[in-house]
Structure 1
């Protein structure tokens, strides 16, 4: 089993397997909120949200044995309309030495020196449509997804809640608002298709076929076959098309996983039964996978980054707001609860 990192409200845990036995570490940063974790190019990065003490970023060069604090992404003094960074919501790598950080409020930062320093991608910050971005779950809009095309690192796709899908073909020098086909049912009918009004909860792309992008939206599940330019709504999806998390199979473009919940303000599993829904035919049909998951009296919610799939597409990990951690085998057909006493989980990530 590959190493699994678990970012929680009270520290960063790591699950490893040795001699056929699994071991869950004591946390790095005990008692502190870890909002994002990234294993990239032999290094491990952890983002912390410390309230009054601000946002912090740490890097380990020895697989978590020791950590060193780095400069965290921050807006330059005097930048118009730039508050303090409240949270690093996601970290991503292009595999070639460039790191990206998506933040709350919604902004994209880039580092080319291993996280030692960060620069705001002003090209996205300055798009005219930013004035129309709205909070989605937080008072401020947030940038929670960064996809880097593995075939061409200049091609970037990001998602803002609420501000739609944005794409760049020139490493972020310029951006276009895309996502035709997305539909915001919460808007007046005449505005429901407005691209900037789309509350995208999460995007995930197939590594082997990155033109296939899956979208968990506030108002349903969508699929793109052109890299996020256009999307098709997938209906019907039972028990619910609402949720936050999505994972894309790394090799099979027709396969993806979601975690359904009751919308809007309720946000618990449908009928208090936790399942993971999977499609293996491009979204034409979905199956609810619940073997090993709570069949009743379950009130766990899975956040945007609380579901991940390993590089083979065989194992999944899922962590909830109630501190439950599960491992899914055989593509999620069977689940095993690994821990029931963790702090609320923000992200699970296979190394």
Structure 2
């Protein structure tokens, strides 16, 4: 296990994957390293419920009485930490925390519908600060049509920012509309929105503004990346615009990590043209200042999508109409691995963001 950040594939496959509880026929997509979400087949669940002799008042009976076609319904779920950085200001921090939670579900192509939240808060958070966090969650949830269905909220000794709990986001929709993370097919085009190091640039440039030795205009450009740190709209726009076979957001490990995870999940090769990938203003300069490789650094907000070649132009046009920068950067081929400008790229062993964040926090405190 890495000292900081997510566990690597080897750790996952040795300790986590063999120990996943009971096997159930209704799990259409279970845990895999680098895969954003899981899927429950509600039709299979209803049939199992019926065969187990549950009365008409159970799940199957309620679905039938509501007129729902459970045979083709799916429940998509994804769990993540609740990540709140008070130094961003509680409203801005809560916006980001909410969109992190929505992003892994959104890349299924289904719009998020429900949220369960566990908040394990540090003792120093005030009622007013909590109110700002929760009211921001409420406003963003209403905007996306998401309902909070359950949760837990408390202050506990030993809990500290930024990880202040966890949450599970959900989406309910047609099973046939789910964009599987392992669905990339040879011949598909590879599209990328926004480019590398979006989260790294947005967070570090705001958190450590007083330490940045960069021109004012560059700092402003880097800080504008903050509100790029959500791939939710990217994913939903893309899924509506054409035949999207797979989507993945570039979180820990950045663009390189996401490319490797997408190729590995589908058992395909990705050939990528680095110069075709968009790079947003302020990213290169901020990453150079912090001595961070932008291609392996966390980039929440960046979406990778594989698309049927005949639909790639339509998807790019829809993203452009939504004000989301995107480009066709390569293709899916037979084989395995990721090749950028012909050179093989491996998954980063550790995301450089976490070490840099820890280092500069120490400089602030010095």
Question: What TM bracket, shorter-length normalisation?
Answer: 0.3 to 0.5
Q: Which of 1 and 2 has greater Rg?
A: 2
TM-score (norm 1): 0.33
Greater percentage in helix:
2
TM-score (norm 2): 0.32
Higher relative contact order (CA 8 A, sep 6+): 2
